[in-house]
Amino acid sequence: MSGETSPKIAVYPGSFDPITLGHLNIIRRASRIFDKVYVCVMVNSAKKYMFSLEERLDFISRAACRFQNVEVEHSEKLVVEYAKEKNANVIIRGLRAVSDFDSEFQMALTNSKIEPSVETMFLASGESYTYLSSTVVKEMAKYGADLGKFVPWEIIDDIEKKIKNRG
């Protein structure tokens, strides 16, 4: 038996439209559990996003560059296929409230049917972020609220600019 263990690799998929402090909290905690974490912006042509793929990738990269073992990518594939491509056997999702549970559970079961070797692991939302979503951020930004409590400071100006330009 060799003493070598394979690196623990996880994928954290999402829309991140835009990344919030809740997402960043999950990324930070996952980066402590796993050797490598791929944060993957999933591209879904049926969904309407406020921020372009490039903007979302740039926002996450700037906010998460402090974590050495975190990489930011995007994919148009099924998340389990992307995970296999990365040799990741864990998909991380964040759970905020009961309202997240049904759809997250359904997705986890579906993914395990497609690819039983990839597990979904749920991290409970940090207690200060259970109310926080990208939708709340976009709504607050429209009303000119202070975004410092909601999103990483590195991206506040960009979000405000975007909202202003959209009128």
Nearest approach, Cβ of residue 143 and ligand ADP (Å): 19
Is-catalytic flag, 74?
A: no
- Restricting to residues 3-62, name those near ligand ADP by CB under 6 A: 14-16, 20, 22-23, 26
Q: Strand 36-42 vs strand 119-124: parallel, antiparallel, or unpaired?
A: unpaired
Among 65-73, 82-90, 91-99, 112-120, the segment contacting ligand ADP (CB under 6 A): 91-99
Options 2, 45, 47, 113, the catalytic residue: 47
Among 30-38, 54-62, 66-74, 90-98, the segment contacting ligand ADP (CB under 6 A): 90-98
**How far is it, in rounded angstroms, from Cα 94 to Cα 49?**
20
Length of the chain as a residue count: 167
What are φ and ψ of residue 131, in 5° steps?
Answer: -90, -10
Is-catalytic flag, 84?
A: no
Closest to ligand ADP by CB, 96 or 162: 96
Is-catalytic flag, 134?
A: yes
The reply on whether position 82 binds ligand ADP by CB under 6 A is: no
Q: Which residues bind ligand ADP (CB under 6 A)?
A: 14-16, 20, 22-23, 26, 93-94, 96, 100, 125, 129, 132-134
Any idea which residues carry the catalytic annotation?
A: 23, 47, 96, 134
